[in-house]
Structure 1
Amino acid sequence: MHGSALKAPAIDRPEDHLSGLDFQRLARLVEGEAGIKLPPAKRLMVEGRLRKRLRALGFDGFGDYCALLSSQDGLARELIHLIDAVTTNKTDFFREPEHFDFLIDTMVPSVLARRAERQPLVKLWSAASSNGAEAFTIAMVLAELAAKRNDFRFAILGTDISTAVLAQAQRAIYPAEMITPVPVDLQARFLMQSRRPGARREVRMVPELRRLVSFSRLNLMDETYPYDRDVDIVFLRNVLIYFEKQDQAAVVRRLVGHLRPGGYLVLGHSESMIGTSVAVRQVAPAVFQKL
């Protein structure tokens, strides 16, 4: 083969991969700290997501990274980045849209019927808020309803364990293609278009909407949550599926403890309340009211 050179095959080094034992240790750590299950089938996914982190730390392989996690000091510094890397943050605007119809038609009117004060503040909590798409969907539909009714105010809290997605939520900037599910009239009212020429088209929530939504980091596995106990509506959709049954029950119990009597808990359609012993009644698919 005159004039050309054969390229030596890349050597696949053991340190380029997570050993079975290291993956088990890491999976136990993540489940213990964040409640997230990482079955063996997720090993390649975890490897892929952690490679960027290894490069950022200047590590040669997964052995060095696992050694860092095995020291108390290293774990304290790195845990938040590990959880950011392995959490699945799948969310969309107007996901499971019937929940937002039920919010406007039933939940908010029911909450307001129980309140005697003028212009009561309705408190909503997006408890696995990811990049803020759910919280801002709630904000858009409630801003429309509040303008029509003119008899209530509202505030929304979004919490998540991942600092990376919370940073995006706080910026409230999204790729333009992400807002396709948002009705055109709401896009016109609540979204500002990026004017940067040549850049990827982005949108940002208008300031008056951003003022009504705040974001904070929360690990749902914590024994207590440092938030108000007079919340009217909690959205906890499509996160319990990643937890073991006993953790699901504990999280639901804690969140229901933050609801007013008559308040609502909204789960994902793929989730259920089976095995939870809390005083709620089902009022719609995946929607429960505190007794």
Structure 2
Amino acid sequence: MESQGNFAYSIADFHRVQEIARAEAGIYLPLSKRNLVFSRVSRRIRATGQDSFRSYLDYVTSKAGQAELQELICVLTTNVTQFFREKVHFDHLQQELLPTLATRLRHGGRGRLWSAACSTGQEPWSMAMSVLSTLPDALHFDMKILATDINHAVVETGRRGEYWLDDLQGVPVHWRDRYMDTISADKFIIDEEVRRLVTFRSLNLNKPWPFHGQFDAIFCRNVVIYFDDETRNALWQRLAERLVPGGFLYVGHSERVDALQPCRLEVVAPTIYRKKD
């Protein structure tokens, strides 16, 4: 038993957090994350008025603590993002998918994109700007973008669509002027036209999904690095099932899909996969 800060913190406490994170969100926490877990969970212990790790963990695993359980999962997740992060994906989206999708939309078809771990919203807003740059009248057609994340707080940030100038490093100036409105000299907000393309929802990727449709492209980047092999492979399979034939899956620069055959995926470029027809 060690004492850090105001709370006693044992290896058993850490193992309980490990088990909760794995069961609720598929998150794997190696022993090297022990101090990080202490720092983040301690904030929730103080916020809830609990007096120890044991009492806090007892609380979040009780029926009365289900809302706080979601807060715990939120503090255990990491949210690093930016506009047009890994630009090669957005170049591919614009060059290889969106022109074909635009033709389909103009002929009465539908278009669906999914940002499966949207964090504070920069990724789905980047997707929406890409769509509008290719198809300026996208709102006249059946075109929608779904943005989801397990962390309800970052989902709400994304939904608000307000960003500081320093957050807009990856946005071309002419796109910023076209797709964002000025709040102040150093703060901007996504404009109404772009907003109408994107729907934000809280979603745990490792729980049942409350929708059944398929997508033309799914961005699921820098998420599975926090999962063990079993959870990772199961998620790739589920995501692949939600792609239309010929649809694309974009993953993070340090991620890869190993089970290509069961997922019916083929590599078209590093970190870009296509579902076979």
Q: TM-score, normalised by structure 1?
A: 0.86
- Counterpart of 2:195? 210
Structure 1 equivalent of residue 107 of structure 2: 118
Contact 2:139–2:197 under 8 Å retained in 1: no
Q: 1:220 aligns with which of 205, 216, 221?
A: 205
Q: Distance in 2 between matches of 1:109 and 1:216?
A: 27
Give the whole-Å Cα distance in 1 for the aligned partners of 2:193 and 2:250: 26
**Alignment partner of 1:167 out of 124, 133, 156:** 156
State the alpha-carbon separation in 1 of the partners of residues 40 and 273 from structure 2: 36
Q: Which amino acid aligns with 1:118?
A: H
Q: 1:61 to 1:178 in 2, by over 3 A?
A: same
Which letter maps to 1:274? D
Match 2:32 to one of 15, 24, 41: 41
Shift of 1:262: 1.2
Select 1:235's aligned residue among 208, 219, 233. Answer: 219
Q: Does the 8 A contact of 2:27 with 2:226 survive in 1?
A: yes
State how 1:2-151 maps to structure 2 within 5 Å: 16-70=7-61, 72-111=62-101, 115=104, 118-147=107-136
Residue 135 of structure 1 deviates from its aligned partner by 0.2
CA-CA distance at 1:148 after TM superposition: 8.7
Instruction: Tell me which residue corresponds to 2:244.
Output: 260
| Partner secondary structure for residue 194 of structure 1 | strand
Contact preservation (8 Å) 1:111, 1:263: no
Q: For the Cα contact (< 8 Å) 2:106–2:141, is it kept in 1?
A: no
CA distance in 1, matches of 2:159, 2:105: 33
Question: Contact conserved, 1:111 with 1:262, CA < 8 A, in 2?
Answer: no
Instruction: Give the alignment's Cα RMSD to 1 decimal.
Output: 2.3
Q: Which entry has the higher C-alpha Rg, 1 or 2?
A: 1
Segment of structure 1 superposing worse, 159-168 or 173-182: 173-182
Gaps of 5+ in 1: 1-11
**Distance change >3 Å, CA 146–CA 21, structure 1 → 2:** same
1:185–1:256 distance in 2 versus 1, CA, 3 Å: same
2:253 corresponds in structure 1 to 269
Q: Which amino acid aligns with 2:121?
A: G
Shift of 1:204: 1.0
Mapped partners of 2:4, 2:106: distance in 1: 67
Q: Does 1:250 align with 2:248?
A: no
1:5 maps to what in 2?
none
Give the partner amino acid of 2:80: K
Q: For 1:31 and 1:79, how far apart are their aligned partners in 2?
A: 13
Query: What whole-Å deviation, never above 9, does each CA across 1:224-243 have from its counterpart, x for those lacking one?
Result: 32224231111111101111
How far the C-alpha of 1:28 sits from its partner, in A, is 1.1
Task: Give the 3 Å change call, closer, same or farther, for CA 151–106 of structure 1 in structure 2.
Answer: farther
Measure the CA separation in 1 of the matches of 2:212 and 2:99.
Answer: 21
State the alpha-carbon separation in 2 of the partners of residues 66 and 170 from structure 1. Answer: 31
* Residue ranges of structure 2 left out of the alignment (5+ in a row): none
- Tell me, in whole angstroms, the C-alpha distance in 1 between the residues paired with 2:58 and 2:18: 15
State whether residues 245 and 275 of structure 1, in contact with CA within 8 Å, keep that contact through their aligned partners in structure 2. Answer: no
The offset of 1:150, in angstroms, is: 10
CA change 1:152–1:270 in 2 (3 A) is farther
CA distance in 1, matches of 2:81, 2:99: 27
Q: Which amino acid aligns with 1:47?
A: F
- Per-residue deviation, 1:280: 1.2
Question: How many residue pairs were aligned?
Answer: 273
